[in-house]
Amino acid sequence: MMCFLVMAFILLLWFFDVQYYLRIISTVAFGRLFQKKCNIMDETTIHGFCFTQDLDLVMKHMNNARYVRDLDFARFHFYDRTGLYDEMVKRKTDAVQAATNVRYRRVIPIFTFYKVTTKVIYWDERSIYLEQKFITSDNFVRTAILSKATMHKPIVEEVMVVLKAGPKPEPLEDLKLWMDSMEVSSKRLRPEKQD
């Protein structure tokens, strides 16, 4: 019996990213147990620590892929704390991460605590645009991220009214430029029409 359990555990680790799912569950559970719900326009925060599993090849600082992974945890936490996830469930839709623009400003060294902040900066009919930041204890923004979460149904405006977002903010200059670049890229990647 013990051999079977050990084998099952090894297979779980081999075929599934168990730590990823455990981190999502623990991040959302911690928020539900110890943090209040907040408005969709409020900034949320999760905390992290750069450990040996997060390192890149030089073994001194966080691997670029780990930043993007932590953004998932911060987004799930944000969706839960703001009520956005509940509204998506009510409307039988979900959101996919349509695009991410990551600007690495300075590395996060090994054995360093950091926080990831998440806030809404703009939305349109189908997408919510988030600004996320990795900030260390010296209050330096190590990484700045723009994220586009697109819902499968065009209901974002409706959801933002229900969640009392207030008036839609004007897009920041860097967001406008990024949105323009995505539009140019999208046009370039569309198949040409045959005459």
Q: What is the pLDDT of residues 159-186, one digit of tens each?
A: 999 999 999 999 999 999 999 999 999 9
Find residue 129's DSSP bridge partners.
Answer: 122, 148
In the DSSP assignment, the letter for residue 118 is E
Q: Is the pLDDT of residue 195 over 60?
A: no
Confidence tier at 41 by pLDDT (50, 70, 90): very high
Distance of CA 190 to the CA centre of its chain: 27
In the DSSP assignment, the letter for residue 45 is E
How does DSSP assign 144-161, residue by residue?
A: EEEEEEEESSS-HHHHHH
Q: Are 59 and 16 in contact (CB under 8 A)?
A: no
Percent of the chain with pLDDT strictly greater than 90: 87
Q: Is the pLDDT of residue 193 over 90?
A: no
CA distance 189 to 106: 32
CATH superfamily ID and name for 16-165: Hotdog Thioesterase (3.10.129.10)
Mean pLDDT in residue range 28-35:
97
Residues 185, 170, 131, 126, CA torsion sign: negative
Q: Are 72 and 100 in contact (CB under 8 A)?
A: no
Which segments of 37-126 are extended strands (E)? 44-49, 95-104, 113-123
pLDDT of 192 reads 77
Tokens of 19: 């730590």
pLDDT of 185 reads 93
Q: Are 147 and 178 in contact (CB under 8 A)?
A: no
Residue 35: what residue type? Q
Neighbours of 30 (CB within 10 A): 13
pTM above 0.75, yes or no: yes
Confidence tier at 13 by pLDDT (50, 70, 90): confident
Percent of the chain with pLDDT strictly greater than 70: 99
Mean pLDDT of the chain: 95
Pairwise pLDDT comparison (78 vs 17), residue with the higher score:
78
Domain ranges in the chain are 16-165
pLDDT of 191 reads 85
pLDDT of 194 reads 63
